[in-house]
Chain A
Amino acid sequence: MWDYSEKVQEHFFNPKNAGAVADANAIGEVGSISCGDALRLTLRVNEETETIEDAGFQTFGCGSAIASSSVLTEIIKGLTLDEALKVTNQDIANELDGLPPEKMHCSVMGREALQAAVANYRGEEWKDDHEEGALICKCFAIDAVMIEEMVVANNLRTVEDVTNFTKAGGGCAACHEDIEGILTKVLAERGEKFDPNAAPIEVAASAKEKMPMTNLQRIKKIEEVLDKLRPQLMADGGNVELVEVIGNTAYVNMTGACSGCQMAAMTIGGIQQRLMEELGEFIKVVPASQMPKAAAAGA
């Protein structure tokens, strides 16, 4: 079974705002039964203030699809349409204390349903601008379509190129065979042969900045991300402290309500996910109690 956060389970087992809103004046529908999840979002929008007075969802889908729909309706109730449009899929996932990478598309579906509903209210046409493929890189939740598009658009040739442009493959490296498969296919389409030893293409200046961080940069960046997460943890009566960073492993102390509670492991998973996303590289978060002895003595 998935490692779902308590929040996801809460929203799944006791969904909020299930069912269609009576006299809705905005309806957003995305997905379809053939692709395994579908969401109909109904809103009642106050025509004077453009605030969302009520929101309801009907969802066909897995646990996290239902939880994402439920939490979405909670987030947007009371917001104006313009405010609501600023809600990202990451916001939905964060509100659920994170989703497994395989399930991030559920939060995307929520955001799209919202955009579709607002477009429907405003009499505009909403277009789905992205297509999702099979998940290739689990560390960074990157799918095949995304990788293929980047390979085509930027003439990528090596796994390293793909990592530089999409992050895919920059973590545990387990997906490198699949990335090579995509490269082989796309290169064959333009009459080239995949060469694992080809030199990586010149990386544009902006991408270059993202190249390997020094340890100091990495520590600073980790602290920044933890600071961002802190308010959320403190709201639950806990906190996190960075003890040491060795290579790609960050050792932390969970304190307050987080220490020793069953949720600590889950929270650590969430923190790790967030760090990987923000740093764009594989980071392992480990409780400081598991730090190697020598390092602990020095710390």
Chain B
Amino acid sequence: MNAIYLDNNATTRVDPLVVEAMLPYFTEQFGNPSSIHRFADGVAKGIKQARHQVQELIGCEHDSEIIFTSCGTESDSTAILSAIKAQPDRKEIITTTVEHPAILSLCEYLEKEGYTIHRMPVDKIGRLDLDAYKSLLSDRVAIVSVMWANNETGTLFPVVEMAEMAHAAGVMFHTDAVQAVGKIPMMLKDTKIDMLSLSGHKLHAPKGIGVLYLRRGTRFRPLLRGGHQERGRRAGTENSAAIVGLGKACELALANIEHENTVVKAMRDRLERSIVELIPNCFITGDVENRLPNTTDIAFEYIEGEAILMLLNKAGIAASSGSACTSGSLEPSHVMRAMDIPYTAAHGTIRFSFSRYNTMEEVDEVLKVMPDIAANLRKLSPYWDGNGPVANPEQAFQPTYA
């Protein structure tokens, strides 16, 4: 059996057409795009085309609104640091409790520097309270940063509406759309989003290439100063091969966006529906009605995520787990905690994330092994007794010292 890759929210395989588009930029067209000779003349054209391909996918007005960066994280950092440097009198930042560490760690750091960080909570299925959001918007806020789609659950936030609200209050709006771009259609020119981050490796382009979309006219301060690359907004010689690859990947993503929302979605739907039917005591987390088409995050009660992953891996299936059992204080993922998923389930969440490379046969393979994996681990669990959880698991297992 071939290995089954269901971890596409972590990263994706580079599309062979993307590889093909990139290769000449390592060998023939390796020149510095700023140079004036024949090793370089194709490079600037390649980059220009890529910029256009990205523009088409995200639907922005001008291709000069695309700034190539090294990754999603760099785009996130650039956006937030630019907003606070350009508006030194504004000392507050609005974000959410469920952002990626690329945002949360930076905010934590800025908090130590004296910034006030408003981290908006979510409800049990991961939704924000827009009234509460509205009341936070003021002229003290330098930037709002809210992810478009959550990397663990796939839950979508109403960023278009939230950007309107921020705009009305005169506040800059950034969205980390690393998980959303290429999976759901978007038309940035019809929105009030000022900045948006995307990352190549989540949409079948290589790792190490990202984009910051910067709406024309948005006040900006570069993170990296130096040469005139990217119109001086991101200095450093262009990663031309990766840029060209990202362009190709965006073209392919646009061509496949319908497929993503029909065929890929059907695989995801079948997998999660069957798992919930076949296996007792498990449930889907997040806002099920309002999600990326490729992502499902399932909480298996009374067993632990890493153990599940190891058994899946042995069966040739790659997925991922929100719980990071990495230290003395074992916290389940911050996203699960934010949704108040009970501890009995939060440690056992598994994310399956699809791409256009997956097949229904692969879904069947997962369905063949998953029930036994859950049953076998539950046999080992002190919280499980025969066919169901022990009565009152939290009480039944009460270490004397606690």
Contacts and interface: CB of A to CB of B under 8 A. Distances in A.
Given A60-B302, A63-B310, A116-B399, A36 B347 contact: yes
A33 B383 contact: yes
B402 interface: yes
A37 to B, nearest CB: 6
Contacts of A102: 325-327
Interface in A31-85: 31-40, 57-63, 65-66
Given A32-B399, A65-B325, 8 more contacts: A1-B313, A12-B310, A58-B380, A59-B381, A61-B304, A62-B325, A65-B304, A133-B329
B88 interface: no
A31 B311 CA distance: 23
Given A66-B380, A116-B400, A126-B400, A143 B328 contact: yes
A38 B328 contact: no
Interface residues of B, number: 36
B314 A13 contact: yes
Contacts of A38: 382-383, 397, 399
B385 to A, nearest CB: 10
27 contacts: A1-B309, A13-B314, A15-B380, A18-B379, A19-B380, A30-B399, A32-B394, A32-B399, A33-B383, A35-B330, A36-B330, A37-B325, A40-B382, A40-B397, A57-B380, A59-B382, A60-B380, A61-B325, A62-B307, A63-B307, A65-B307, A116-B401, A120-B400, A128-B401, A135-B328, A143-B327, A143-B328
Nearest to B310: A63
Nearest to B328: A132
Contact of B394 (A29, A33, A58): A33
B358 interface: no
The SS class assigned to the B binding surface is: loop
Contacts of A39: 382
Contacts of A31: 399
Nearest to A27: B400
Given A15-B380, A125-B400, A133 B303 contact: no
Interface of A: 1, 9, 12-13, 15, 18-19, 29-40, 57-63, 65-66, 102-103, 105, 116, 120, 125-128, 131-135, 143, 145
A135 B331 CA distance: 12
B304 A36 contact: yes
A152 to B, nearest CB: 18
Contacts of A132: 327-329
A65 B310 CA distance: 13
Contacts of A19: 379-380
B329 A35 contact: yes
B303 to A, nearest CB: 7
A175 to B, nearest CB: 12
B328 A32 contact: no
B326 A135 contact: yes
Contacts of A13: 310-311, 314
Contacts of A36: 304, 323, 325, 330-332, 343, 347
Contact of A58 (B309, B382, B400): B382
Contacts of B314: 13
A133 to B, nearest CB: 6
Nearest to A59: B380
A145 B397 contact: no
Nearest to A177: B109
Contacts of A18: 379-380
Nearest to A15: B380
B289 to A, nearest CB: 29
B398 interface: yes
B393 interface: yes
B87 interface: no
